[in-house]
Amino acid sequence: MDGETLVMAKSNENQGLIRITIILVIISLMVSTIAIILSATSLSREGTTINVGDAGSTTGSSAGKLADDVWTFAIGHDGSNVEYFDQTSGTLRGFHVDIVNAVCAQANKNCRLIWDVYSNCWDSQAGQLARGGNGLMGGWYDACTGWFNTYERALTFKFTNPIRKKFNGQFFVKEGNPNSFNPTSIGSTQKIGFGDGWSTDEHCLGRNSDTISGVPLDPSQVVHYGDRNQLIEAVNNNEVVAVFTNAHTLFNSGLQQVGPTITNCQRAGGSIMTPMQSTLPDWWNPAFDALKQSGAYKDICAKLDSEHGSQRGFGGDVVCLD
């Protein structure tokens, strides 16, 4: 190799090194830029709350709401004067509706009622431990309206202060008790009916083994029914020997009440049930207290019959707090 060729070779080698160096610098800059972008994106997502109603919301969102956000309440339709669907107006009405409207107005909150099936608030399968429903667990809404504070529910959800009185549990049988059901000694083959997801459930009954023999019941003895009419039919058709519910739900049902009153089904009265992380009770409880102090709560109770008398239901003395 002569001198000229050697010089040219070295020159080409130097140029190649320069090009490689430039490429490496460019790649390094690109990697650094991407890292910065990813870091910034991660930081921007930290602590973000998706509000109810936003696409893709899958978690309870009532923690971190803004002042003008909508608070959503799931409400059912049990056909009584506490919550029912008014066919004439096409709206949900009842005592619970009146309370939600009044408390939200008192607290100056933007609230909306959403109709949904009860099992999306609290789900109960016959003979199994009850659990939180998909709707409230999944953040479809901020709260469920009018639910009683029970021992099982309190393990999963948080409750506001009560808006209505507690109910006690009671056995009901066919008139005359033709099957000779003994409410203090339940046979191992006898089937008992319960309202699906109700607070007067088989778990409450199981807490009374000191006064009722035969409980807790075997899962094969537990039968769930969807509503009041199904419970009544189940007894009259001899599907079950008795049903266990509260005295007021089966008032004027034609069934006979038997046995002692069971007082430990509920920790507290009907309330607003929310996810554990919810901030809803922080503004609801003071607003509800103000409603009671102003006399507005008593006014709602006094109008229970006149406003919702077209529905089967409960008197103000049964529902309303003293």
Q: What are the pLDDT digits (tens) for 134-182?
A: 999 999 999 999 999 999 999 999 999 999 999 999 999 999 999 999 9
Reported CATH class of domain 70-166+267-319: alpha beta
For residues 186 and 222, the answer to whether their CB atoms sit within 8 Å is: no
Could you tell me which CATH number the domain at 169-262 has? 3.40.190.10
Nearest CA to 217 among 259, 252, 189? 189
The confidence score (pLDDT) of residue 60 equals: 44
CA atoms within 13 A on the CB side of 263: 2
The confidence score (pLDDT) of residue 40 equals: 33
Q: Are both 70-166+267-319 and 169-262 of the same fold?
A: yes
The confidence score (pLDDT) of residue 190 equals: 97
The confidence score (pLDDT) of residue 63 equals: 65
Q: Mean pLDDT of successive 10-residue segments in the chain (322 residues)?
A: 33 46 48 37 26 33 73 92 92 96 97 95 85 96 97 96 96 96 97 94 94 96 94 97 92 92 95 98 98 97 91 90 94
The confidence score (pLDDT) of residue 140 equals: 97
The confidence score (pLDDT) of residue 314 equals: 85
For residues 72 and 112, the answer to whether their CB atoms sit within 8 Å is: yes
The confidence score (pLDDT) of residue 67 equals: 66
What kind and span of H or E run contains 143?
strand 143-149
The confidence score (pLDDT) of residue 117 equals: 94
**How many angstroms separate the Cα of 226 from the Cα of each of 21, 44, 109, 150, 219?**
75, 46, 33, 19, 18
Domain residue extents for the chain: 1-40, 70-166+267-319, 169-262
For residue 183, cis peptide bond before it (omega within 30 degrees of 0): no
